[in-house]
């Protein structure tokens, strides 16, 4: 295919753009207050707000909010209209549309990479992707401009002069730049596919009596091997995305709230802990920890040894290694599908990496699942439950196993294909 030389760069750019976009979409760091200011408002994203002893001016009960809440949580129902003015809702809607367009473009590039369709069909899909990603870039630009302007409004968050646009907003800017690059690449690829479709029009469908593909022939074995390898690659890619989402999200464990009881531990992930007036038992100064913090933030310097026992560090190490292994497996499989790696050894290596990734996911969820109930770690473990980030890690393990199984079948069928022709029959045309 003429566009194959640009498919890998387009896939890389699309993947990077999707990663930055998902980080911006899901993370709660669009706008943040300076730590030295000690403001009641801490930070917020599109779907989460964090406060530190914040009082809503229109709340005559004088309730104080401490910690982080999902924007549609019942706890902050009284502040919905204040926290989500029309401009904020418009940004949420536009960024949701941008995410859908980005994922759709990723699927289109993936189909082009696997060469599932003829060049003329790829031309239509790439034109659609070009329009979709450029519209997404325009919506991203509008969203960033609207958010950047209205976040300075004194009718919204407390003391806007002490707030700044944080790294989630920066990720959205980077994603928008990647979207513009994607638009140029998709347009170029579509042009090449159009030229190829003119030179090589699709062949008429082959009639059943023109060619017979019998079971056991070399052609059917090779086609089956390629098909199972593509299945394995798709499953490996899904597994890698699951590992990435589980790795970066702070929802490995949460605590249930019963009635009006106050829970000091809110939730945690591999790299972030959210607390609500929690105090370290061995801290004789009696400091209370509130809000969500990166595990290596200065706020947790004194309690880091308590929050990171040996088993937790092991889980962090296994998941970090899992990220590298899953990414390496996908990279090898992409190169093999494009024909850059011809040796069957790379099939076996990618198969081994898939099972190794599954083993790392299994170790991580097993260790975390057992040790997170330790009463010497987080308070009230009987109220804690494993949340969706933990579940996604479990799914990553299953997808890795299924990927390894598909790759094993592909290796075995390729092995049969490389045997002498007379053992498996030959392809014959019917007279």
Q: Report the pLDDT value the prediction gives residue 242, as an integer from 0 to 100.
A: 92
For residue 315 the two structure tokens come to 């889980």
Residue 415 has pLDDT above 90, yes or no: no
Fold match flag (1-200 vs 213-431): yes
Report, in this order, helix, strand and coil percent for the chain, each rounded to 5: 60, 10, 25
- Average pLDDT over every residue of 111-132: 76
Predicted local confidence at residue 223, as pLDDT: 45
Mean pLDDT of 354-360: 90
Of the listed ranges 35-44, 108-117, 358-367, the one predicted with least confidence? 108-117
Q: What is the pLDDT of residue 322?
A: 92
pLDDT confidence tier of residue 27, bands split at 50, 70 and 90: confident
Burial state string for 369-379 with b = 16 or more CB within 10 A and e = fewer than 16: eeebeeeebbe
- The arithmetic mean of pLDDT across residues 27-41, rounded, is 84
Taking CA atoms, 92 is separated from 48, 111, 139, in Å, by 12, 29, 11
What is the CATH number assigned to the segment(s) 213-431? 1.20.140.150
Domains of the chain, residue spans: 1-200, 213-431
Q: Does 239 or 415 have the greater pLDDT score? A: 239
Q: Mean per-residue pLDDT for 141-165?
A: 86
What SS3 class is residue 260?
A: coil
Take residue 16 and report the two structure tokens written for it: 């990077």
| CATH level 2 (architecture), domain 1-200 | Up-down Bundle (1.20)
Q: Which of 197-211, 292-306, 315-329 has the highest mean pLDDT?
A: 315-329
pLDDT at 431 over 60: no
What letter does residue 274 receive in the DSSP assignment? E
pLDDT at 391 over 70: yes
- pLDDT over 90 percentage in the chain: 19
180 pLDDT higher than 90: yes
**Mean pLDDT of all residues belonging to the chain:** 79
**397 phi and psi angles, rounded to 5 deg:** -65, -45
Query: Cα(117)–Cα(196) distance, rounded to whole angstroms?
Result: 13
């Amino acid at each position: 295919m003429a566009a194959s030389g640009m498919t890998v760069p387009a896939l890389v750019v699309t993947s990077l753009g999707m990663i930055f976009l998902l980080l911006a979409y899901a993370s709660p760091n669009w706008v943040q207050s300076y730590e030295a200011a000690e403001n009641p408002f801490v930070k917020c994203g599109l779907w989460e707000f964090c406060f530190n002893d914040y009082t809503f001016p229109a709340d005559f009960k004088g309730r104080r909010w401490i910690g982080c809440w999902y924007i549609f949580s019942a706890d902050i129902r009284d502040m919905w209209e204040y926290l989500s003015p029309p401009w904020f809702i418009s940004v949420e809607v536009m960024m949701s549309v941008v995410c859908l367009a980005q994922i759709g473009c990723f699927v289109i590039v993936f189909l082009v990479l696997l060469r599932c369709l003829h060049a003329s069909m790829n031309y239509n899909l790439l034109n659609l992707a070009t329009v979709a990603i450029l519209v997404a870039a325009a919506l991203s630009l509008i969203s960033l401009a609207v958010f950047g302007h209205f976040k300075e409004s004194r009718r919204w968050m407390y003391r806007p002069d002490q707030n700044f646009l944080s790294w989630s907003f920066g990720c959205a800017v980077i994603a928008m730049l990647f979207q513009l690059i994607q638009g140029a690449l998709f347009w170029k690829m579509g042009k090449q596919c159009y030229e190829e479709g003119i030179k090589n029009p699709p062949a008429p469908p082959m009639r059943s009596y023109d060619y017979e593909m019998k079971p056991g022939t070399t052609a059917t074995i090779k086609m089956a091997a390629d098909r199972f390898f593509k299945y394995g690659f798709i499953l490996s890619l899904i597994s890698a995305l699951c590992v990435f989402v589980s790795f970066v999200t702070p929802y490995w464990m949460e605590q249930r709230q019963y009635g009006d009881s106050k829970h000091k531990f809110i939730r945690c992930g591999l790299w972030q802990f959210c607390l609500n007036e929690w105090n370290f038992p061995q801290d004789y100064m009696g400091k209370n920890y509130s809000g969500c913090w990166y595990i290596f933030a200065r706020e947790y310097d004194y309690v880091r040894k308590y929050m990171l026992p040996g088993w937790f560090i092991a889980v962090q190490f296994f998941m970090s290694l899992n990220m590298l292994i899953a990414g390496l497996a996908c990279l090898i499989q992409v190169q093999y599908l494009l024909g850059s790696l011809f040796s069957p050894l790379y099939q076996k290596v990618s198969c081994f990496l898939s099972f190794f990734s599954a083993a790392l996911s299994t170790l991580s969820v097993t260790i975390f699942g057992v040790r997170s109930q330790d009463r010497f770690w987080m308070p009230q473990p009987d109220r804690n439950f494993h949340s969706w980030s933990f579940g996604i890690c479990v799914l990553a393990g299953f997808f890795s196993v299924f990927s390894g199984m598909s790759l094993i079948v592909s290796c075995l069928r390729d092995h049969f294909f490389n045997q002498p022709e007379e053992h498996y029959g030959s392809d014959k045309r019917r007279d």
